Every structure is written in C-alpha cells, then in structure tokens.
Amino acid sequence: MPQRTCVGCREVLSKRSLIRIVRQPDRVRIDPTGKLDGRGAYLHDRRSCWERGLKGALANALKTELSAQDRELLSNFMAFLPEETVDLVDESVQ
C-alpha cells in the first residue's frame, strides 16, 4: 500500500488514511478520490494537522501561495474535522 506523509505532523501513513489536497492551475481543491490531476499534499483528518498545515507547510508542499479563497475553502472543511483526543491510558501500565 502506498505511503504518504502528513504535512501537518510529518507522520507517515497509508495514502488512504489521509486527506489529499491538490493544486490545480486555477485553485486548490480537496480531493476525496485521490485521483485529480495536479500537485498533491496530504493531511490527517485532525484539526491540529490542518492548523499546522495552513500556517505554511501545506503551501510549501503544494509549491504555491494559498489565496484567500483557498484558505476559506480549507478552513471551512477543517471546521468539521474532529479535535484531537488525549489518550488517558498510561502506556507503562500495559
């Protein structure tokens, strides 16, 4: 299975477990199929990764500057993502 790196946290996971964002000539789009033409970058489905990505890592990975319209699209999508949960289980007990 192909592996990709989340540009927000730098964790390497299977391509299918990440969300692809693609740069096309006219705009940036979220690519649920993973098959759109254009330069792509990947993020987890966690808000913290998207926040880090929008600070600059995503634009750098896509080799473009995000327009106000692109940022609005990505921010609106991010608003529906789950917040990260804290794992309360102490690993030393296991």
What are 25-75's pLDDT values in tens digits?
A: 999 999 999 999 999 999 999 999 999 999 999 999 999 999 999 999 999
Q: What is the distance in angstroms between the CA of the first residue and the CA of the last residue of the chain?
A: 30
Extents of the domains making up the chain: 3-78
Task: Give the span between the Cα atoms of 35 and 37, in whole angstroms.
Answer: 6
Predicted pLDDT at 1: 87
Predicted pLDDT at 53: 95
Task: Give the span between the Cα atoms of 53 and 26, in whole angstroms.
Answer: 20
Predicted pLDDT at 52: 94
Predicted pLDDT at 83: 76
Span 3-78 CATH architecture: 2-Layer Sandwich (3.30)
| Rounded (5°) CA angle 79-34-1 | 115
**Mean pLDDT throughout 69-87?**
84
Predicted pLDDT at 82: 81
